[in-house]
């Protein structure tokens, strides 16, 4: 197999349409599966599944798991696992709830503008610290991450219980509530601004990648392929924003908002939701994590360590410290997800984030992250989270019983990995 | 070997009275060896004789219990692979030590990535540099974009060697560099060793193949049970002498004299 290519058969074979586009077949397969899912549920529900309202809801329900799934990719790529993320989320949420609803209002007064930033920073710090501690136990003390985080799963769930004395904490700070979804959206105008910026970003990435290849004399894709790819991506961004903008804010809520400012709602006035702040956070996380994975030394070392830990260490990479950093990043993202989750639920309850660790791991694995380490992508994990949430919401709308929903999700998880294994064998990749 | 090595100046590497023990077992017990510029010194011995352990001390993978290492006459502290690299020491391991999931360029520059002004890794430039050095070392090498798991043993070996050559190593450690290779690829590595030697590098070579060692090395050091049996110039000994040093732990010719 390998030698055939070495000798070089003279002329390069004529390349197919897809190979000229240089698109990952796995990505294409996942997008295809997702599209099929949407169409099937769309038909079955008579179009209800594909309404702007439902798409908006699925999107904001996906955010919390998707944010953590991006961090889980790094954890799994370095041949570790984190079973504690649901409990760490609960722990961060509990601390944030207590800080914003009990401590700070007593010190600075209810509704003070500093409450939200202090609360958020505290939550993120708690998550990062817990993650770093897990990473230290794994990297420096040599305890398997499975054990460390299995312990963490039990410990943090119940430390969070004591933090709030087992009570549900509500109402939350008004600014915090903006990070959950429907309560905090950008509105149509700013959503279009974000769409324009993202589109420019796509164009810049594709163009600068091409320029840098040309500068070093490497072959580039044909211009039409580059152009088609740009059009599809920009079209997807603009279409997504258009859908979110098409979901109007309910009239009762508009009236309440106007009354809060001492105005009356004009007759026939409507406005769309636009991009939720939580989704904007997910987009930023996705971009930053992708840059880390592909363009930084930190990311390169994560993948190298996953591929061959011994080789990485012999190359002078401090794999122990790397483990601490990867788990700290996972903890930070769990803290961020805690903000989104408690804001969406508009309260902190003891069961927040229960079973999230399994959803997060499933999302990463469905997205193509290999438990053997070394392989996994950020976009895959996000798409995995989206597929799982769509499946669950769709089945709910169709009227499938909850127990059966879980059976299906479990089967999909196993099926996705099975297809991946068959696909890899066919292509002869490891 | 034909070319004469000048051993009158300061040695490139001096390892003096090196000792290391693992849980009571003296893996390396008071060994002293040296290496001059443009010289290939072979390390021979049975499995478990301590060759690889000695060499891993020099490459920073293990830390010695006692002893001294001098590079160009200056004592150095080698506490990690990073220290060894900083001292101009590159190692090519038996297991090749490549990250299978990454491409050739990522492996070649692993731990020493070229970065852009923004501090991001500059993949295009690293790929271009890899292409350049590979054109020199192994003109058949084309699979720049693929994970190294897709490469043959010889191609993987050339990635490992390219790492040493690209970063201008002065001291090269090769731990069974031809163990996993075919005949043609072994010859390629042998040519490369001669070329690097001509450029003035010092090379420590570990191998089980006595004949190969007689051909490539200027001197051979034989170890047994963690101790140095002796160091001989290859022109002073026969293959049989070396074998009895390895097996019996003494040099019959010296004892006869």
| Domain B13-101+169-256 fold | Rossmann fold (3.40.50)
CB contacts < 8 A, A to B, total 97
What is the average pLDDT value for chain B, to the nearest integer?
A: 86
Burial class, A189, CB count within 10 angstroms (exposed 0-12 / middle 13-18 / buried 19+): exposed
Report pLDDT digits (tens) over A374-396: 999 999 999 999 999 999 999 99
Best residue of B93, B94, B99 to probe chain A, by most A CBs closer than 10 Å? B99
pLDDT band (50, 70, 90) for residue B257: low
Share of chain A above pLDDT 70, in %: 94
φ and ψ at residue B251, rounded to 5 degrees: -100, 110
Greater confidence, A289 or A253? Answer: A289
Please report how the helices A187-215 and A277-295 are oriented relative to each other, as an axis angle in degrees rounded to 10: 10
Share of chain B above pLDDT 90, in %: 29
Assigned CATH class of A19-184+276-427 = mainly alpha
Report pLDDT digits (tens) over A15-26: 556 565 566 777
Which of A 353-382 lie inside 8 A of B, CB atoms? 374-375
The whole-model pTM stands at 0.88
Select, from the ranges A322-326, B84-88, B237-241, B250-254, the one with the highest average predicted confidence (pLDDT): A322-326
Select, from the ranges A211-225, A334-348, B165-179, the one with the highest average predicted confidence (pLDDT): A334-348
Alpha-carbon separation of residue A263 from A258, A267, B23, B206 (angstroms): 5, 12, 82, 86
Q: Cα(A338)–Cα(A313) distance, rounded to whole angstroms?
A: 34
What is the average pLDDT value for chain A, to the nearest integer?
A: 89
φ and ψ at residue B218, rounded to 5 degrees: -90, -40
Give mean pLDDT, residues A130-154. 97
Lowest mean pLDDT among A17-21, A87-91, B129-133, B239-243: A17-21
Q: Cα(B208)–Cα(B215) distance, rounded to whole angstroms?
A: 13
Give mean pLDDT, residues B45-73. 90
Residues of chain A with CATH 1.10.3470: 19-184+276-427
Report pLDDT digits (tens) over A150-168: 999 999 999 999 999 999 9
Taking the Cβ of residue A79 and every Cβ of chain B, the question of whether any pair is shorter than 8 Å is answered with no
Give mean pLDDT, residues B75-86. 90
Alpha-carbon separation of residue A370 from A37, A79, A212, A223, B151 (angstroms): 24, 9, 31, 34, 21
Does A417 score more than 80 pLDDT?
Answer: yes
Report pLDDT digits (tens) over A221-264: 888 888 888 999 999 999 999 999 999 888 888 888 788 888 88
Query: Closest-CA residue in chain A for B113?
Result: A297
Query: Closest-CA residue in chain A for B59?
Result: A314
What is the least distance, in Å, from the CA of B150 to any CA of chain A? 7
Contact B99 A314 (CB under 8 A): no
Q: In which element (H, E) is residue B150 found?
A: none
Report pLDDT digits (tens) over A295-328: 999 999 999 999 999 889 888 899 999 999 999 9
pLDDT band (50, 70, 90) for residue A428: low
Report pLDDT digits (tens) over B208-238: 888 888 888 999 999 999 899 989 888 888 8
- Tell whether omega for the bond before B136 is within 30 degrees of 0, i.e. cis: no
Predicted pLDDT of residue A122: 97
The neighbour count for residue A30, using CB atoms within 10 Å, is 21
Greater confidence, B96 or A187? Answer: A187
pLDDT band (50, 70, 90) for residue A8: very low
Query: Closest-CA residue in chain B for A428?
Result: B150
Report pLDDT digits (tens) over A42-65: 999 998 899 999 999 999 999 999
3-class DSSP state of B91: strand
Share of chain A above pLDDT 90, in %: 63
Taking the Cβ of residue A346 and every Cβ of chain B, the question of whether any pair is shorter than 8 Å is answered with no
3-class DSSP state of A206: helix
């Amino acid at each position: 197999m390998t030698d055939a290519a070495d000798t070089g058969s003279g002329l390069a074979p004529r390349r197919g349409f897809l190979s000229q586009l240089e698109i990952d077949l796995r990505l294409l397969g996942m997008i295809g599966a997702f599209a099929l899912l949407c169409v099937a549920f769309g038909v079955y529900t008579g179009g209800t599944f594909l309404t702007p309202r439902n798409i908006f809801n699925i999107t904001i329900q996906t955010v919390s798991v998707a944010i953590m799934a991006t961090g889980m990719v790094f954890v799994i790529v370095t041949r570790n696992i984190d079973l504690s993320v649901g409990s760490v989320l609960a722990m961060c949420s509990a601390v944030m709830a207590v800080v914003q609803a009990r401590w700070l209002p007593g010190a600075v007064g209810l509704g003070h503008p500093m409450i939200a930033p202090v609360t958020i920073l505290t939550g993120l710090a708690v998550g990062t610290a817990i993650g770093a501690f897990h990473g230290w136990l794994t990297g420096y003390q040599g305890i398997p991450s499975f054990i460390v985080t299995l312990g963490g799963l039990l410990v943090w769930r119940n430390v969070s219980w004591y933090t709030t004395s087992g009570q549900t904490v509500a109402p939350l700070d008004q600014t915090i509530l903006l990070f959950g979804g429907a309560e905090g959206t950008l509105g149509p105008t700013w959503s279009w601004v974000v769409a324009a910026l993202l589109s420019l970003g796509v164009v810049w990435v594709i163009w600068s990648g091409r320029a840098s290849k040309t500068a070093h004399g490497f072959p580039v894709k044909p211009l039409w392929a580059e152009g088609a790819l740009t059009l599809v991506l920009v079209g997807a961004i603009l279409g997504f924003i258009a859908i979110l903008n098409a979901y109007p804010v309910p009239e009762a809520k508009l009236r309440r908002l106007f009354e809060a400012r001492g105005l009356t709602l004009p007759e026939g006035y409507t406005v769309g939701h636009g991009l939720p702040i939580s989704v904007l956070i997910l987009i930023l996380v996705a971009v930053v994590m992708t840059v880390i994975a592909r363009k930084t030394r930190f990311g390169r070392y994560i993948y190298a360590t996953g591929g061959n830990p011994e080789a990485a260490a012999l190359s002078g990479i401090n794999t122990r410290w790397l483990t601490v950093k990867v788990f700290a990043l996972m903890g930070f993202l769990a803290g961020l997800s805690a903000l989104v989750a408690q804001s969406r639920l508009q309260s902190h309850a003891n069961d927040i984030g229960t079973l999230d660790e399994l959803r997060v791991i499933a999302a990463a694995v469905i997205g193509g992250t290999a438990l053997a380490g070394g392989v996994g992508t950020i976009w895959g994990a996000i798409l995995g989270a989206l597929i799982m949430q769509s499946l669950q919401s769709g089945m709910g709308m169709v009227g499938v019983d909850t127990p059966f929903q879980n059976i299906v999700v479990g089967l999909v998880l196993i099926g996705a990995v099975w297809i991946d294994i068959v696909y890899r064998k066919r292509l002869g990749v490891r | 070997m034909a070319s004469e090595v000048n051993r009158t100046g300061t040695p490139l590497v001096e390892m003096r009275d090196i000792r290391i023990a693992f849980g009571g077992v003296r893996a390396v017990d008071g060994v002293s060896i040296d290496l001059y510029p443009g010289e290939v010194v072979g390390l021979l011995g049975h499995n478990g004789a301590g060759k690889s352990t000695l060499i891993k001390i020099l490459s920073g993978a293990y830390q010695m219990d006692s002893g001294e290492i001098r590079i160009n006459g200056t004592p150095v502290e080698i506490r990690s692979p990073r220290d060894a690299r900083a001292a101009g020491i590159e190692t090519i391991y038996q297991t090749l030590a490549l990250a299978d999931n990454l491409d050739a360029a990522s492996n070649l520059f692993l731990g020493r990535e070229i970065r852009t002004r923004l501090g991001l890794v500059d993949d295009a430039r690293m790929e271009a540099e890899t292409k350049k050095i590979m054109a020199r070392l192994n003109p058949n090498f084309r699979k720049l974009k693929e994970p190294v798991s897709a490469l043959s043993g010889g191609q993987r070996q050339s990635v490992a060697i390219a790492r040493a050559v690209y970063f201008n190593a002065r001291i090269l450690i090769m731990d069974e560099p031809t163990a996993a290779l075919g005949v043609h690829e072994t010859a390629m590595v042998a040519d490369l060793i001669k070329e690097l030697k001509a450029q003035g590098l010092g090379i420590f070579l570990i191998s089980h193949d006595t004949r190969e060692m007689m051909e490539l090395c200027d001197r051979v050091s034989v170890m047994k049970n963690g101790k140095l049996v002796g160091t001989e110039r290859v022109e002073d000994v026969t293959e049989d002498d070396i074998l009895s040093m390895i097996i019996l732990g003494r040099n019959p010719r010296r004892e006869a004299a």
